[in-house]
Structure 1
Amino acid sequence: MLRWERGTVKSALGSWPGVDRVEVELEDGTGTVPAIAYRELTGQPLPGELVLLNTNALRRELGTGGDAMVVARPEMLPAAEEVAGHMVKARYTPMQTIVDAIDDPAGEHYETLRAAKRIDGMPVVVADLHSSLPAIIAGIRAHRRSARIAYVHSDAAALPAAYSRSAARLREAELLTSVISAGQSFGGDLEAVTVHSALLGAKHVVGADVAIVIQGPGNLGSGTGWGFSGVQAAEALHAAAVLGGQGVATLRVSGADERKRHRGLSHHSSTTYGRALLSPVHLPVLPRNDSRYNAFHESVRKQVKSTILKPAKKRGVLHQLTEVDAKGLRDALEDMPVRMTTMGRTLAEDPAAFQYAALAGRCAAELALRE
């Protein structure tokens, strides 16, 4: 279902690399709406221009950021930018776009990707929620400040990698070395056809010490056992395993979520790592001798054992419960140049959500130093 509306750009509301946010006055006289335009797809809308909008998610008040989407500027067609490659992303949608992928025969990195077979023990951190990205990076850099980090933006949620303001800000602050958009996702510093080739690119093109794989903003959940987009994390960990990487699974934890299925250890982590995952990974947790360890963390540990370790072991998959020192991580989280929020909650409101992501980051940094 699409809901089409037309309007005129009234003013600019701000921008970040690849994205313009504008205020649009609707043609039907019902007022104004905020809208997002991706420069790669439409160019930059200017005040006074007529734009065609997709407002279906906005009108239904879905959790997509509260913006309409600029589909076209009918009176101002953007200039075509020719690329050497022929890889198409967002395939067979009206907005399909051609990119220069690292695994495209016409690309400059093609021979490197053809020769690459493994990622040689590179740690790969995987998470369910995009909001974990800055926390994971904080954990990595708290242990290894000079680490080269590649973020693989998978295609389970927002397809345009540019939509992530966090990734853009982290790139600007030089805390993130490269963004690689994989699968149907597009718009990263580098493009890859699959998560597998994105990981090979992270290792052999970017020279990353650690790779992070997370879906973009816009996690989709249904309340059913398997109907959530974050289950794709298992596939990313499988890719890391077959390529000779070290998988680190970020536990989705919350001490403030009102929904029982996400309080403590989220059922998303239980399902993804306990039931969907076929390769062993590190599951970073707080050590029992840590001064911050309390009944909440003990409860999380028990949930991990009963809902992840035990069912995985029955299937012959031996995950490793890995204790990670949390010293300095809170300061590292507070020092990040992006606003730390998850599902609308801040670091102060739900510290556990970010702490466990930072533990995963530090775990990966420790593993990288051993290679």
Structure 2
Amino acid sequence: MELDTAVDGEGTCRALAYPALVGRPEPGDTVLLNTTALAMGLGTGGYAMVVAVPDRLPPDPTGPGHLVKARYTPLQATVLGADEQDSPHHPALADADSLTGMPVIVADLHSALPPILAGLLAARPGTRVVYVMPDGGALPAWFSMSIAQLTAAGALAATVTVGQAFGGDLETVTVHTGLLAARHVLDAEAVILAQGPGNLGTGTRWGFSGVAAGEAVNAAAVLSGRPVASLRISEGDLRERHIGVSHHSLTAYGRVALAPADVVVPELTGEFGARVREQARPLGERHRLVSTPVTGLADTLQTAERDWGVRLSTMGRRLDRDLAYFLAAAAAGRHAAALLG
């Protein structure tokens, strides 16, 4: 829940509280805040976080479940894992070992979730799509407005949080069991796998949280899924390393992903389109490059934003400032729909 808080000597600030962890703050309560994100001027995550309501602590958890997430931190929480022995889903997952060819669309950034979904559902309405959220970005799925809006609109069937991430419709220990739970418990026809809000990057080849996209390709492949790699493409980013095909995609898919995937290359026009194709070309040594039309996808994205009430934005840039980014993600969804027939 979002709060307006007053900090002595510093004025007011926006704050977020997760009632399941800290209880439900009421007007007039004193709250303990973590203001690190505000002090750092973060765009994603630019809230103070409620650590506790000292005068009214939440009740002790009573279970069920013994998966501890955010382990060994003051806010560690116990949840019921779909893959643990006490779960009603344990029998379905105990020997599960295959995704039976299910498409798994992998992306670097959380902002790719809505456009991938838009491209997929425009081409194949009614497809049951599940989002699998690993722990490279935000840990609580509750932080994502996109998840809430897409689910409320009926576009997204469910969310599975894996690793240290939590708050999904199902919780699992690993990306592998997250994918299997999406398929065998939630009856997913396709999965979108991308980190939660917030991407950590250091400007180095290997120091970015999206490197896990390459590992996700491997996980999907080893479980007999069909990995579909969504390229991170930008025409509006001011950083040279992200213009055209981002170095994040080139590293994650070109170096980390050892299993072959369908790498979707959107058919963009002009010099920029030629640059994207040339940058993606080396990925064809390991993967299948799939040239995918983007005709009509700009209208699809605008319709999705209006009908689903979701805000399409990446790194603060909207559709009009970086259309290529959203077209690339939507093209990956369009290709996944084609695989489903």
State the match for 2:4 in structure 1. Answer: 23
Letter in 2 for 1:22: L
Instruction: Answer 1 or 2: which has greater strand percent.
Output: 1
Structure 2: distance between partners of 1:249 and 1:144: 19
Structure 1: distance between partners of 2:311 and 2:100: 34
Alignment of 1:43-192 (within 5 A): 43-192=23-172
Structure 2: distance between partners of 1:151 and 1:303: 28
Letter in 2 for 1:302: E
Structure 2: distance between partners of 1:234 and 1:39: 34
Q: Secondary structure at the match of 1:50?
A: coil
Q: Which runs of 4+ in 1 moved over 3 A?
A: none
Structure 1: distance between partners of 2:89 and 2:60: 24
Q: 1:323 aligns with which of 279, 283, 291?
A: 291
Q: Contact between 1:182 and 1:192, CA under 8 Å: does it hold in 2? A: yes
Residues 278-334 of structure 1 deviation map (CA, whole Å, 9 limit, x = unaligned): 0111111234xxxx622211110000014x33xxx3xxxx30110223233222111
Structure 2: distance between partners of 1:109 and 1:327: 42
Structure 2: distance between partners of 1:82 and 1:138: 39
Q: Contact between 2:37 and 2:45, CA under 8 Å: does it hold in 1? A: no
Q: 1:345 aligns with which of 304, 317, 335?
A: 317
Give the TM-score of the pair, scaled to structure 1: 0.89
Q: Secondary structure at the match of 1:80?
A: coil
Q: Contact between 1:129 and 1:214, CA under 8 Å: does it hold in 2? A: yes
Alpha-carbon distance, 1:57 to partner: 2.3
Structure 2: distance between partners of 1:57 and 1:344: 16
Letter in 1 for 2:274: E
Q: Secondary structure at the match of 1:23?
A: strand
State the match for 2:276 in structure 1. Answer: 300
Residues 137-165 of structure 1 deviation map (CA, whole Å, 9 limit, x = unaligned): 00110111110001001101100011110
Residues 102-160 of structure 1 deviation map (CA, whole Å, 9 limit, x = unaligned): 10100110000013110000000010110000000001101111100010011011000
State the match for 2:18 in structure 1. Answer: 38
Structure 1: distance between partners of 2:153 and 2:60: 31
Structure 2: distance between partners of 1:326 and 1:62: 32
Give the TM-score of the pair, scaled to structure 2: 0.96
State the match for 2:326 in structure 1. Answer: 354
Alpha-carbon distance, 1:79 to partner: 2.6
Q: Secondary structure at the match of 1:359?
A: helix
State the match for 1:226 in structure 2. Answer: 206
Residues 163-197 of structure 1 deviation map (CA, whole Å, 9 limit, x = unaligned): 11001100000100000000000000110110000
Structure 1: distance between partners of 2:43 and 2:298: 28
Q: Contact between 2:265 and 2:280, CA under 8 Å: does it hold in 1? A: no
State the match for 2:336 in structure 1. Answer: 364
Letter in 1 for 2:295: K
Q: Contact between 1:90 and 1:185, CA under 8 Å: does it hold in 2? A: yes
Structure 2: distance between partners of 1:137 and 1:128: 15
Residues 68-109 of structure 1 deviation map (CA, whole Å, 9 limit, x = unaligned): 110000011123342221111111111110111110100110
Match status 1:254 vs 2:234 = yes
- Structure 2's unaligned 5+ residue stretches are none
Structure 1: distance between partners of 2:256 and 2:89: 33
Q: Contact between 1:142 and 1:328, CA under 8 Å: does it hold in 2? A: no
Q: Contact between 1:140 and 1:361, CA under 8 Å: does it hold in 2? A: yes
Q: Secondary structure at the match of 1:364?
A: helix
Alignment of 1:284-299 (within 5 A): 284-287=264-267, 293-299=269-275
Match status 1:334 vs 2:334 = no
Structure 1: distance between partners of 2:294 and 2:186: 28
State the match for 1:264 in structure 2. Answer: 244
